Amino acid sequence: MAFIICYNTIMPKRVILAYSGGLDTSVIVRWLTDRGYEVITYTADVGQGEELSEIPSKAKASGAVEAIVEDLKEEFAREYCLPTLRALALYEGKYPLTASLSRPLIAKKLVEYAEKFGADYVAHGSTGKGNDQVRFELSVWALNPDIEVLAPVREWEFKSREEEVEYALRHQIPVKATKDKPYSIDKNLWGISIECGPLEDPWEEPPEDAFEWTQSPQKAPEEPEYIEIEFEEGVPVGIKGKRYENLSQLILDLNAIAGRHGIGRIDMVENRLVGIKSREVYEAPGATVLYEAYRDLLSLVLDRFTFHYFLTHIPHEYAKVVYEGLWFSPLREALDAFTSRLAKYVSGKVRLKLYKGHVQVVGRTSPNSLYVEDLATYSEKDAFDHKAGANFTKVFGLPLKVLGRVRKR
């Protein structure tokens, strides 16, 4: 009689975690490991800077079996920041979508690595009342609807960031946050998002220690700085005469230039997707300057009809698409097709004045300029047909003239 002995091999549940190295995701690694998951962390270098050199050791110290760090700065700049700049998208007229923009790119990479490593799960560190949960999960489902998304922060036992800090210290998890500086910070080359701690009181002015990239306007240089930004077909290619092959480096350099003048601080009460209002503080020095420059050049090269249509239809709608996690939607692709067509005309230079928290366009030029000095001037060179203007006014004002007569009866 033969006996067959069967050994049940239980494969670990493998998950690819979007890992920033911050408090939440560092705690998540240990929390998932304790629940039987094999955690592979994925960190995208989207221009957040110096802390990335510590990422692999921090992730493995927290319990990860492998830590992946990938340089995505140029892809992020060209495929995500640039289209948003061309749309002049600002959520609720203020937020340049700094953190929102990186989420679909990171989600795309999570899916790619999940498929590569045979993982059935991806995970993120978003809360149940935040926006990022929507952006991550909608992006993942659009790309691979069969992958399950884990969101430990929505499930775990911690009720505050202070409890997370205590947990991290107790388990010797290396984290930057402390009880004295309990900010939640998300950085990429397009800007910094800052939350929590004293910022949760919308009446209180943000402490100076909350800011990293921008000088206080009061301490900024006493003399203004003038810079020129050059564009070619809607792409920024130069600053102050220096040409850039990499858009990401141009943005990073512009962050430093504008940041020392205190430009790009944003403090707002924002309407989140889940229905609550949240006090948000951002730093986006380079993006702030680029928005001013691009808008001004766009107004120079577009006819009135197209420019007005753009202003009334594109910035708000594009900002909603990005903010609400709809990056991988036909709507975003259609909006990009429109703004890319307009960008073909956006070539030239914009001169800007940077001074104590303010950026002002003071000059612009373009080979595609629709500004005709002979038509605009009030000098002897004036070529405008003033008599035609009188007739135009009569025709244009006819509806109101008729209305006035009817109401006068």
Q: Would you please indicate which residues are annotated as catalytic (active-site) residues?
A: 24, 103, 132, 184
Close Cβ partners of 295 (under 8 Å, ≥ 6 residues apart): 88
Name the residue among 189, 193, 151 with its Cα closest to residue 44. Answer: 189
Query: For the chain, what is the mean pLDDT?
Result: 93
Residue 246: inside a domain, yes or no? yes
Residue 8: inside a domain, yes or no? no
Higher pLDDT, 107 or 51: 107
* Model pLDDT, residue 65: 96
- Tell me how crowded residue 269 is: count the other CB atoms within 10 A of its CB: 11
Mean pLDDT, rounded, for 374-396:
91
Phi-psi region at 123: left, alpha or beta (left = phi > 0; alpha = psi -120 to 50): beta
Q: Tell me how many domains the chain contains.
A: 2
Clarify whether residues 142 and 163 are in a common domain.
Answer: yes
Helix and strand element counts for the chain (H, E): 15, 14
Clarify whether residues 250 and 281 are in a common domain.
Answer: yes
CATH of the domain at 139: 3.40.50.620
* Boundary of a domain, candidates 143, 162, 188: 188
CATH of the domain at 347: 3.90.1260.10
Give pLDDT tens digits for 28-54: 999 999 999 999 999 999 998 866 888
Share of the chain above pLDDT 70, in %: 95
Clarify whether residues 205 and 171 are in a common domain.
Answer: no
Residue 312: inside a domain, yes or no? yes
**pLDDT at 80 > cutoff 60:** yes
Give pLDDT tens digits for 210-269: 999 999 999 999 999 999 999 999 999 999 999 999 999 999 999 999 999 999 999 999
- Tell me how crowded residue 216 is: count the other CB atoms within 10 A of its CB: 12
Mean pLDDT, rounded, for 376-388:
89
Whole-number Å distance between alpha carbons of 169 and 67: 21
Clarify whether residues 244 and 143 are in a common domain.
Answer: no
Extended strands (E) in 233-344: 235-239, 242-243, 265-271, 277-283
Give pLDDT tens digits for 305-314: 999 999 999 9
Give pLDDT tens digits for 165-199: 888 888 888 776 555 666 778 899 999 999 888 99
Residue 383: inside a domain, yes or no? no
* Model pLDDT, residue 11: 64
Clarify whether residues 175 and 199 are in a common domain.
Answer: no
State the residue range of the domain holding 256.
191-365
* Model pLDDT, residue 30: 93
**pLDDT at 4 > cutoff 80:** no
* Boundary of a domain, candidates 188, 219, 248: 188
Residue 388: inside a domain, yes or no? no
